[in-house]
């Protein structure tokens, strides 16, 4: 992983909008130059049974609260602070409210520029996401498990901001009048706004596609056209999508680093940093557009299998997109990762984590594993399931799910039942072997030619799997033939017809089934050290991560074939820099460059981090050379990190 930045799908638990009919009328005055973010408006809704005695409104801690009034129920108001920095305002009613009581909330306040999760405001850019800190007053609903959830809403949002700034909101109908932009939401959503010096490019059609770009280097029309193709293709797999338009919204790379967000899917759009928009990436856009269904249109209900019904399904959609538009790279995607995309979202990503001792059943993923394992093992398990059921039947099941569960939410049991019905025969064994236990298949094979037959034996030394596998046979004359086998026993033998002298036999050569491949296993075991350090960092345990990495580096006496020491030193450098130890950080980065084996796709960022440190200390000579090397290393990696644009800040 080049950056410890997370790509998010912003999700909230299932809500029945019809219960509350929540509607906002918002007026925003936003001036990034003066760092003012002024909100005024009202919200109307009706109560449910859980709001009979009290109701909660969540709002960020604001600079100045001028008005927060509730009409429709008498009582007292108190407040409590959340760890996130938001405030919960609770109205305690003097007498119980009947279900369906109409309520009106009016408010006025100055939010200010104080940073919070998914809230950022400086002189050149504003990010205010309702999925993070509550920049607008959010109605909270009590779920059956006792947790509270944010209710989605319709409404009208008018934003006024000085030119040349432009506000952007996705999945809404837009009208403009001078410097004022009004967004009408007819479908319930969580509200997010992005403000910058945008230029809009578009392609018109049954559904307009917009690219809001900040950089001249971003080819907005090309991105629109390819994104439209991806969405149209996924519609054939997952069913129709009712959104008025689709927006691709750029934000600065510096903001990505500051927020720790490397991209996001929101209903009716995606939000991407500058570097991600330099070249259209089918895996990345396939994943984020896949979330338009899995996590937005169809929301998981209950904890069991939640990550599979959101993250893994979006990743499965991404694989289908690559197989459709860039099929020559599909094998690489499954095995070691798609070029320019997160490498660990692949088979090797899972194997590294399993070797590191980080493994859980897919139906019960916890913490960061809802991304780590769902996006590595999860999508491969879904691919196996789809091939077992049959692609046509499986995708029909997904379209049926979209029709039946868009309003009620989808449980894991619902998903299993719909797939079983579409299959025509129970496939519970697939769920049991891939989703309800840990691990992945491993096998050992031997073959011997007996005239015009090949005697193939396969042993499964670990857990037993039922697998449909391809066998690729290579002949002395260079020709090949492919045959299918069903592996069900721990020790299995097969007699396969051949048409010449056999020189090689490969089982599952396209890596269509996740397994402990002989070529991947040594790398996965070696990289387990790096994974343990990375996962500690992702959990916010930087001191523990640093100490573990240091121990591994000091104990590294064996030959390093996979760049493990290099990667560990880079983690140590990043942690030292984040903890304001620049001289120490520079030492670790420079030491990593002396390693005999380096990780090519991480090299550009090593030089970029050195350039950042040099800039902070005023070392212009080191800054110039590190920036040049960052660009050169990035070119060797097909420009995956967009270094040419990143280093311009120092010119």
Are 552 and 407 in a shared domain?
no
Q: Are residues 499 and 567 in the same domain?
A: no
Residue 215 included in any domain: no
Rounded to whole angstroms, what are the CA distances from 650 to 76, 110, 608? 55, 35, 11
Q: Which single residue is written with the structure tokens 């912003």?
A: 10
Roughly what angle, to the nearest 10 degrees, separates helices 412-423 and 391-405? 140
Q: For 366-425, write each residue's pLDDT tens digit.
A: 989 999 999 999 999 999 999 999 999 999 999 999 999 998 899 999 999 999 999 999
309 in any annotated domain: no
DSSP state letter for 378: I
The contacts found for 321-324 with CB under 8 angstroms, 24 or more apart, are 321/230, 321/233, 321/234, 321/282, 321/283, 321/285, 321/286, 321/289, 321/290, 322/282, 322/283, 322/286, 324/233
The crossing angle, in degrees rounded to 10, of helices 600-617 and 620-636 is 160
- Residue 11 pLDDT level (bands cut at 50, 70, 90): very low
| Cα 190 from Cα 12, distance rounded (Å) | 8
Q: 617 CB contacts (<8 Å, ≥6 apart)? A: 582
pLDDT of residue 7: 53
Q: What is the pLDDT of residue 8?
A: 52
Which of 222, 223, 159 minimizes the C-alpha distance to 194? Answer: 159
In this prediction, residue 287 carries a pLDDT of: 96
We report the CATH number of the domain holding residue 126 as 2.60.40.1730
Query: Of 385, 403, 436, which residue constitutes the final position of a domain?
Result: 436
Q: Which of 436, 460, 475 is the last residue of a domain?
A: 436
Residues 6+ apart with CB under 8 A from 446: 456, 457
The answer as to whether 486 is a domain residue is: yes
631 part of a folded domain: yes
638 pLDDT more than 70: yes
Q: Count of CB atoms within 10 A of residue 367's CB?
A: 12
Q: Is residue 150 located within the same domain as residue 63?
A: yes
Residue 623 phi/psi, 5-degree rounding, is -60, -50
Does residue 9 register a pLDDT over 70? no
How does residue 552 score in pLDDT terms, banded at 50, 70 and 90?
very high
* Same-domain check for residues 643 and 592: yes
Bridge partners (DSSP) listed for residue 535? none
Residues 38 and 167 in one domain: yes
pLDDT digits (tens, 9 = 90+) for 270-293: 999 998 998 999 999 999 999 999
Looking at the fold, whether 534 and 632 belong to one and the same domain comes out as yes
**In a shared domain, residues 552 and 604:** yes
Q: Please give the Cα distance from 428 to 436 (Å, whole number).
A: 10
Looking up tokens 């279900």, which residue turns up? 99
Task: Give the closest residue to 32 by CA, choosing from 158, 180, 190, 197.
Answer: 197
Q: What's the pLDDT score for residue 17?
A: 42
Same domain, residue pair 32 and 146: yes
pLDDT in tens, 438-469: 999 999 999 999 999 999 999 999 999 999 99
- Nearest Cα neighbor of 134 from 8, 12, 242 is 12
Does residue 548 lie in a domain region?
Answer: yes
Q: How many CB atoms lie within 10 A of CB 112?
A: 16
What band does 1 get if pLDDT is binned at 50, 70 and 90? very low
Query: Angle at the Cα of 455 (from 449 to 458), degrees rounded to 5?
Result: 130
For residue 145, what pLDDT is reported?
Answer: 64
- Residues 269-297 as b or e (16 or more Cβ within 10 Å = b): bbbbbbbbbbbbbbbbbbbbbbbbbbbbb
Q: Which two tokens stand for residue 522?
A: 């040594």
Q: Domain end: 136, 161, 191, which one?
A: 191
Range(s) of the domain holding residue 489: 444-507
pLDDT digits (tens, 9 = 90+) for 165-202: 999 999 899 999 999 999 999 988 999 999 999 999 99
**Number of folded domains that form the chain:** 4
Residue 18 scores a pLDDT above 80:
no
Strand order in the sheet with 148-150: 75-81, 86-93, 54-60, 138-142, 148-150
45 pairs with which residues across the strands?
103
CB atoms within 10 A of CB 648: 10
DSSP label at residue 440? -
Q: Does residue 116 sit within a domain?
A: yes
Q: Which residue has the tokens 């280093």?
A: 647
Chain mean pLDDT for the chain = 94
Residues 477 and 614 in one domain: no
DSSP state of 310: I
Helix (H), strand (E), coil (C) string for 56-68: EEEEECCCEEEEE
CATH of the domain at 548: 1.25.40.10
Q: How far apart are the first and last CA of the chain?
A: 27
Angle at the Cα of 521 from the Cα atoms of 520 and 523, rounded to 5 degrees: 70
**Within 172-281, where are the H helices?**
220-238, 253-259
Residue 221 belongs to some domain of the structure: no
User: For the domain that residue 465 is a member of, what is the CATH number?
Assistant: 2.60.40
Same domain membership, residue 123 and residue 157 = yes
Higher local confidence (pLDDT), 102 or 1: 102
Answer whether residue 204 is part of any domain: no
Is the torsion defined by CA of 525, 527, 532, 535 positive or negative? negative
pLDDT for 5 equals 46
Same domain, yes or no: 34 and 87: yes
Decide if 183 contacts 172 (C-beta within 8 A). Answer: yes
Q: How far apart are CA 112 and CA 120, in angstroms?
A: 10
Are 555 and 588 in the same domain? yes
């Amino acid at each position: 992983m080049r950056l410890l930045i997370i790509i998010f799908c912003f999700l909230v638990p299932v809500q029945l909008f019809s219960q509350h009919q929540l509607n906002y009328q918002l007026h925003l005055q936003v001036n990034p130059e003066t760092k003012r973010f002024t909100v005024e408006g009202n919200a109307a809704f009706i109560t449910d049974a859980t709001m009979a005695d009290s109701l909660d409104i969540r709002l960020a801690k604001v600079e100045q609260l001028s008005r927060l009034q509730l009409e429709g129920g008498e009582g007292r108001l108190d407040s409590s602070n959340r760890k996130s920095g938001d405030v919960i305002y609770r109205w305690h009613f003097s007498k119980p409210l009947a279900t369906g009581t109409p309520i009106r909330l009016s408010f006025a306040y100055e939010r200010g520029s104080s940073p919070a999760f998914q809230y950022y405001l400086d002189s050149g850019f504003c990010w205010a996401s309702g999925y993070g800190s509550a920049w607008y007053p959010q109605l909270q609903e009590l779920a059956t498990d006792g947790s509270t959830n944010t209710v989605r809403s319709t409404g009208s949002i008018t934003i006024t901001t000085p030119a040349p700034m432009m506000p952007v909101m996705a999945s809404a109908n837009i009208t403009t009048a001078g410097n004022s932009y009004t967004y009408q939401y007819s479908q319930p959503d969580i509200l997010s706004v992005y403000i910058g010096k945008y230029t809009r490019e578009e392609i018109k059609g049954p559904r307009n596609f917009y690219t809001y770009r900040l950089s001249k280097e971003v080819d907005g029309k090309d991105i629109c056209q390819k994104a439209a193709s991806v969405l149209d293709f996924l519609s054939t797999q997952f069913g129709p999508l009712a959104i008025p338009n689709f927006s691709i919204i750029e934000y600065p790379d510096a903001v990505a680093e500051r927020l720790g967000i490397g991209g996001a899917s929101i209903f009716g759009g995606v939000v991407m940093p500058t570097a991600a928009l330099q070249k259209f990436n089918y895996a990345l856009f396939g994943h984020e557009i896949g979330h338009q269904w899995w996590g937005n249109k169809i929301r998981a209900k209950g904890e069991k299998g939640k990550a599979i019904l959101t993250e893994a399904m979006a990743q499965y959609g991404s694989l289908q997109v690559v197989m459709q538009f860039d099929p020559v790279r599909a094998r690489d995607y499954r095995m070691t990762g798609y070029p320019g995309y997160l490498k660990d979202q692949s088979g090797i990503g899972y194997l590294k984590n399993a070797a590191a001792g980080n493994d859980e059943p897919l139906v019960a993923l916890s913490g960061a594993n809802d991304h780590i394992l769902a996006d590595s093992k999860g999508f491969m398990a879904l691919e196996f399931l789809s091939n077992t059921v049959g692609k046509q039947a499986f995708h029909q099941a997904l379209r049926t799910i979209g029709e039946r569960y868009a309003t009620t939410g989808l449980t894991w049991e619902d998903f299993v039942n719909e797939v079983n019905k579409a299959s025509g025969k129970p496939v519970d064994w697939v769920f049991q072997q891939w989703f309800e236990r840990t691990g992945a298949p491993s096998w050992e094979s031997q073959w011997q030619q007996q005239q015009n037959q090949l005697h193939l034996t396969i042993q499964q030394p670990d857990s037993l799997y039922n697998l449909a596998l391809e066998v690729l046979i290579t002949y002395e004359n260079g020709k090949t033939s492919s045959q299918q086998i069903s592996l069900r026993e721990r020790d299995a033998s097969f007699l396969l017809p051949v048409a010449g002298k056999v020189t090689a036999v490969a089982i599952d050569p396209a890596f269509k089934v996740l397994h402990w491949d002989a070529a991947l296993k040594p790398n996965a075991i070696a990289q387990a050290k790096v994974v343990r350090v990375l996962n500690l960092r992702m959990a916010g345990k930087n001191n523990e991560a640093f100490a573990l990495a240091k121990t591994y580096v000091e104990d590294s006496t064996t030959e390093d074939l996979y760049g493990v020491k290099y990667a560990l030193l880079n983690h140590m450098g990043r942690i030292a820099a984040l903890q304001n130890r620049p001289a120490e950080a520079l030492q670790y980065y420079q030491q990593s460059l002396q390693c005999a084996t380096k990780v090519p796709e991480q090299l550009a960022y090593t030089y970029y981090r050195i350039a950042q440190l040099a800039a902070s200390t005023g070392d212009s000579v080191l800054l110039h050379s590190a920036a040049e090397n960052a660009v050169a290393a990035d070119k060797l990696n097909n420009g995956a990190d967009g270094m040419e644009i990143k280093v311009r800040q120092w010119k």
